[in-house]
Chain A
Amino acid sequence: MTTEAVTLEVRPRYTLPMAFIQPFMAMMERDLRVLRRDLVPFLARTAMQPFLFVLVFTYVQPKIGAGAPGFQDVLVPGLIASTVIFQGIQAVAIPLVMEFSQTREIEDRVMAPLPVWGIAAQKMTFAFLQSLLVVLVVFPLVYIVPVNTPHLHVSPLVLVTIIPLGALLSASMGLLIGTAVNPRQITLVFALIVMPLTFLGAVYYPWSQLEAIRWLQVITLLNPLVYLSEGLRGALTPQYGHMNYVAVYAGLIICCVGCTWGGVRMFEKRVLS
């Protein structure tokens, strides 16, 4: 618009990047306040499922003379991976579904001086940090609870790259599911997404051992959790075999990019008309 140069400027122009960083950080501050307040329920919710799992399969069963030897080793990467992914669904997707429909809080967040994609990015960033926190909560559980202490052979470089990728995957999947699902479908999310994802996510067995059931081995390549479980398996318990690292990193990166792109697109579509 040529006319615009002549118009009256009432306000100073906010310059990037501060115009972006400031409201972004303010939203982080809000999320942090809510997390601090809900820390105990957050920890309970996060830790209960993996805790019960290791308790039954790596403490109770060996004590009563049941269970497979070495299962505690298999579960370390598996349970960390599944808890991180589940976290994204529980802490991002479900609240987001509510904010879009019932509470409509998102309509207010969108009025903040941040582009719509920036609001989506903030939600993902906080989810990313929460997922990192989840790793810190779950790791001691799966290491301490078993009767037989897991044998870990840690590859530090793999570990410090896989964990952030896993947290990002969790955040981006949370965003995508949260924007794609409507409240009536929430129970279906558990039945059709969470359950198959975790049970067929190479959580309770190494993916490489699926050689015996070739069709399942191939189909589960569509499951993003497989790449995370296998990446962590390589980083922590490589003695059981793991998927080739190229496939692990490629799989994780493709899933992250795809879910982020889809999630942000859906987010924009749902708040703008």
Chain B
Amino acid sequence: MATPQTQQESPPQNRIPKQGQTIQTRRLTKVYPGGTRAVDALDLEIENGEFFGLLGPNGAGKTTTIGMLTTRVVPTSGEMWIAGINVRARQQEVKRIIGVVTQFNTLDRRLTAWENLYHHGRYFGLNRSDSRREATRVLELVRLEERGKSLVDELSGGMQQRLLIGRALVHRPEVLFLDEPTTGIDPQGRLALWDILLQLHREGQTILLTTHYMEEAERLCQRVAIMEHGKILAIGSPEELKGSVGAETIMTLQAEPITPAFIGALKGISGVHSVEEGPRGLQVFAGDSRRLIPQIAETALAQDVELSDISVSTPTLETVFMRLTGRELRD
């Protein structure tokens, strides 16, 4: 675990929030009544214009983190700033400059798609003509210009999700928060949504996204923080994180029995960096795999181990998560 900085020390307590950073948290902690420590002394810094991802399994504390940053969850301790504004002290000001897409569809069912956008703009202080103009702009942005007059219930799930994101953009927020935006969306809808998000990012929108889909984090985010039990385990670009695995390939073996002698023998093969037992089988981390497969087979034969399958893959964020926690991302 060399390249990405693991979270160990926190910045000094009274440091002034840095300029150029849209989001900053300092030892942010949430303990729910009953004692669940959902977020534990979280230090996070997100730059202007950055597309940042919080990746972790359900219950890792991602939603609670977004909840605190968006004023919905009251922190137990710690501080946070958005665009230099202290979130705890000046909630209404913070609400004006953030756009929030929650995990649930919270569209106004009694209004049409266009009206959802128009009234949202009005809530955020836009005058009537600005709000009309922005509603129409956003409707195009989320590719719903044909469906402006449809009531929410007349739109498909994917369309509603796009409208939900569009609505969060009407007042041109400094930061867009997206909590699991593609959960429950079909693959096609997901791709359409990714396109929109990437376009927003190119236009300079700062985005904080939570997800438990590693493909999503890899595809979209410039930096990813891997979270579990309320803590950040590792943080870096997807490439940095994957590089931290320290192997070009990972071979997963289905073998029986897995004996210490067999593991020892595998470790002895030149080119093998390490061998670990994971939830999916015995994992061999190595450089180039092609020449190794016959050697692994020979080793198994020599050790009287029955080898039923070898699958070869390159490291993913999933691998990173598994190496950090010993668990799979989705369970």
Contact = CB atoms under 8 A, between A and B. Distances in A.
A244 to B, nearest CB: 43
Interface in B99-113: 100, 102, 104-111
B79 interface: yes
Contact of A273 (B67, B84, B105, B122): B67
Nearest to A108: B106
A3 B74 contact: no
Contacts of A109: 123
B79 A1 contact: yes
A113 B124 contact: yes
A107 to B, nearest CB: 5
Given A7-B84, A9-B84, A273-B32, A107 B92 contact: no
Given A26-B123, A105-B106, A271-B72, A3 B14 contact: yes
A211 interface: no
Given A23-B124, A30-B119, A112-B124, A107 B106 contact: yes
Interface in B60-76: 67, 70, 72-74
A153 interface: no
A27 interface: yes
B95 interface: yes
Given A107-B104, A113-B124, A34 B110 contact: yes
Interface in A11-34: 11, 13-14, 19, 22-23, 26-27, 29-30, 33-34
Interface residues of B, number: 43
A227 B267 CA distance: 85
Interface size class of A (residues with CB under 8 A): 35 or more
A12 to B, nearest CB: 10
Interface in A179-212: none
A26 B121 CA distance: 9
Given A4-B89, A111-B70, A26 B119 contact: yes
A151 interface: no
A1 B125 CA distance: 28
A23 B125 contact: yes
B108 A272 contact: no
Nearest to B67: A273
A13 B84 CA distance: 13
A113 B92 contact: yes
A30 B107 CA distance: 13
Given A14-B96, A108-B106, A115 B91 contact: yes
B188 to A, nearest CB: 25
Contacts of B70: 111
Contact of B174 (A10, A29, A107): A10
B111 to A, nearest CB: 7
A186 B11 CA distance: 51
A113 B95 contact: yes
Given A14-B93, A108-B108, A1 B174 contact: no
A110 interface: yes
B238 interface: no
A8 interface: yes
A114 interface: yes
A228 B315 CA distance: 72
Given A27-B123, A29-B122, A1 B84 contact: no
A37 B149 CA distance: 14
Contact of B95 (A10, A13, A112): A112
A37 B95 CA distance: 30
Interface in A30-73: 30, 33-34, 37-38
A103 interface: yes
Contact of A23 (B79, B97, B100, B123): B123
B95 A1 contact: no
CB-CB nearest 4 A-B residue pairs: A26-B122, A108-B106, A7-B84, A112-B123
19 contacts: A13-B93, A14-B93, A26-B123, A30-B108, A33-B119, A103-B109, A104-B104, A104-B106, A105-B106, A105-B109, A108-B108, A108-B167, A112-B124, A113-B96, A113-B123, A113-B124, A113-B125, A115-B92, A272-B74
